[in-house]
């Protein structure tokens, strides 16, 4: 297995610190990753935030609207 570069280790440590207690919460992690993807995908369409949230909830109805807004 290849060794991680010091830069990669530093980035992973920052991510771990950012996630804190949520690092073990798969529901929250899925929400963060999905919102990151949606933000990138919908940014090209120049849609208002509310429309992006509604489209996201239609695709992933197991997330509550308030959760999505907070993410």
16-59 residue pLDDT tens = 999 999 899 999 999 999 988 888 887 788 888 888 889 889 99
Instruction: Write down the pLDDT at residue 42.
Output: 78
Q: What's the number of CA atoms in the CB half-sphere (13 Å) around residue 33? A: 9
Q: Is the pTM of this model over 0.75?
A: no
- Residue 45, both tokens: 């369409």
CB atoms < 10 A from the CB of 35, how many? 19
Map out the domains of the chain as residue ranges: 22-70
């Amino acid at each position: 297995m290849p060794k991680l570069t010091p830069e990669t280790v530093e980035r992973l440590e920052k991510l771990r610190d950012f996630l804190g207690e949520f690092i073990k919460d798969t529901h929250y992690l899925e929400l963060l990753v999905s919102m990151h993807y949606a933000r990138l995908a919908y940014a090209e369409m120049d849609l208002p935030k509310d429309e992006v949230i509604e489209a996201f909830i239609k695709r992933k109805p197991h997330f509550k609207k308030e959760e999505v807004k907070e993410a």
